[in-house]
Amino acid sequence: MIWQLASNSLWRRPIRTSLTALGIAVAVGSMVIFLSLGEGLRKAFASQIGSIGPDLQVSFGDFDASTSFTTLPEIPLHYLDDLQAQSSRFGITRVTPLLSHFRAGLSPGNSFVFQGLPASEDLANLFIDFQVDAGRSLRADDEGKGVAVIGAQVAKRSQLELGKQLRLSGDYSFEIVGIVSSSEGIVDNSIVVPLTSLQAALGIKDKLSFITLDLEEPARAAEIATQLKEVFPNLGFQTRSDVLGVLEQGVRITDVVRLGISTIALIVGAIAVANTMMMSVFERTREFGIVRAIGARPRFLFALVLSEALLLSFVGALAGVILGRLGMIAVNNIATNLIGLEVAALTPRLVLFAISVAFVMGLMSGLIPAFRAARITIATAMARE
């Protein structure tokens, strides 16, 4: 009965109720969009790294959230020969050096990730379902030359074609000789160039960003990583799960930032609910006096006003989830066009969290108006015009 009375009371003031619910919907929708980015990134990382990539990744020092995305190569080049010398001892089948460089631009279309790899390496052995869509792949005789193969997403995003020049610096540019793709998202969004060519362009000839290791027994990756750490204490050895763990840590950090931004919108929504309920109580003072006069107890009025606040927040939360879902579709459409990945995902736990937050917001916002309604005396209410 009390929920029906609360519903009827809200719809007696449709414009105010609708605007307040809209404010809550915008607040909750913003939170859903922000937090869905974290859920989407987790899924993207799991699909891109969880089942693919090298058996072991080698970094200089420990690999953690604060150093994992550094643009400065740190691994001394001599470690490449040292690891190759230990191949037979640890069952290493392939040692691949990698030099990464991010060239930032004013727009996504002018920002590029360069990956320097040995030109003699068959890219089909490094990337799952690798294929050449146009032109050719790198060849051994490309080492030291200014040539590049680009991912299909890069070509689409930046409107690049075969034969065009990609300028890395004033003195170095790379001619596009191939457009490639794979089931991974990594190569699709990268520019792959010969390792020595990128070293010369960056003026870095004695350092690498990472070294990747393929093993005869991938199931023993964690055990082999521990053994290699004893031999090379200055290096870090990460399995796929280790890399995912670091990325998860980074996503959690961004979750806190996004939640902090969302909290501001939620506070505004809570203030809107509290304001609506306080105005409602003020306008219905005489009505509440009549209800008290015919036998209603203060706790009934308290429950009625609090129910109105909770109902208003719940309706706003449902609308916010729908609004957030629409926003996620727009974000994913943009991300798919830019990088070929969906970066936002709506999960059941996110929906439950959004509704729970809205419930708490309604509860906290309705307490003061509910207490005020419960404290109205019959004499005061009846004396009010």
Across 97-107, b (16+ Cβ under 10 Å) vs e yields bbbbbeeeeee
Tell whether 249 is covered by a domain: no
Helices (H), the chain: 2-11, 14-49, 78-85, 87-90, 152-158, 195-202, 221-231, 240-283, 285-293, 298-339, 348-374, 378-383
**More confident call, 290 vs 89:** 89
Query: What's CA 257's distance to the chain center, in Å?
Result: 11
Nearest to 343 by CA among 334, 353, 355, 352: 334
Residue 241 confidence (pLDDT): 67
Confidence of residue 194 (pLDDT cuts 50, 70, 90): very high
Reported as half-sphere exposure (CB side, CA atoms, 13 A), residue 339 has a value of: 18
Look at 54-58, 119-123, 129-133, 252-256 and tell me which has the smallest mean pLDDT: 252-256
**Is 230 found in the same domain as 273?**
no
Confidence of residue 380 (pLDDT cuts 50, 70, 90): low
**Is 91 found in the same domain as 24?**
no
Task: Encode pLDDT of 79-119 as tens digits.
Answer: 888 999 988 888 888 888 989 887 765 555 566 788 889 98
Look at 132-141, 205-214, 255-264 and tell me which has the smallest mean pLDDT: 255-264
The number of domains in the chain is 2
Tell whether 246 is covered by a domain: no
**Is 119 found in the same domain as 81?**
yes
Tell whether 245 is covered by a domain: no
Residue 44 confidence (pLDDT): 61
Residue 340 confidence (pLDDT): 62
Domain boundary among 180, 211, 238: 238
Long-range pairs, 263-267, Cβ under 8 A, ≥24? 265/26, 265/27, 265/30, 265/31, 266/27, 266/28, 266/31, 266/357, 266/361
Handedness of CA 315, 316, 318, 319 (dihedral sign): positive
Residue 51 confidence (pLDDT): 44
Site of tokens 């300028």: 167
Region 281-301 average pLDDT: 75
Using DSSP's 3-state secondary structure scheme, residue 345 falls into coil
CA–CA distance, 148 with 175 (Å, rounded to integer): 6
Tell whether 123 is covered by a domain: yes
**Is 231 found in the same domain as 115?**
yes
Residue pair 75/99 in contact (Cβ under 8 Å)? The answer is no
Tell whether 39 is covered by a domain: yes
Reported as half-sphere exposure (CB side, CA atoms, 13 A), residue 113 has a value of: 17
**Is 185 found in the same domain as 262?**
no
**Is 164 found in the same domain as 197?**
yes
**Is 213 found in the same domain as 112?**
yes
CA–CA distance, 384 with 339 (Å, rounded to integer): 64
- Joined together, the tokens standing for residue 67 give 């150093």
CA–CA distance, 249 with 259 (Å, rounded to integer): 15
Nearest to 150 by CA among 117, 110, 193, 118: 193
Tell whether 243 is covered by a domain: no
**Is 127 found in the same domain as 20?**
no
- Joined together, the tokens standing for residue 16 give 């105010």
Region 172-177 average pLDDT: 89
Domain boundary among 238, 273, 294: 238
Tell whether 248 is covered by a domain: no
The per-residue pLDDT of the chain, averaged, comes to: 79
Region 146-172 average pLDDT: 84
Residue 50 confidence (pLDDT): 45
Residue pair 185/339 in contact (Cβ under 8 Å)? The answer is yes
**Is 264 found in the same domain as 172?**
no
Residue 1 confidence (pLDDT): 65
**Is 308 found in the same domain as 278?**
yes
- Expressed as residue numbers, the domain containing 231 is 56-238
Global pTM value: 0.63
Nearest to 225 by CA among 238, 209, 212: 238
Site of tokens 């520019």: 191
**Is 190 found in the same domain as 79?**
yes
Using DSSP's 3-state secondary structure scheme, residue 300 falls into helix
Residue pair 270/361 in contact (Cβ under 8 Å)? The answer is yes
**Residue 231 above 70 pLDDT?**
yes
**Is 139 found in the same domain as 107?**
yes
Domain boundary among 238, 267, 288: 238
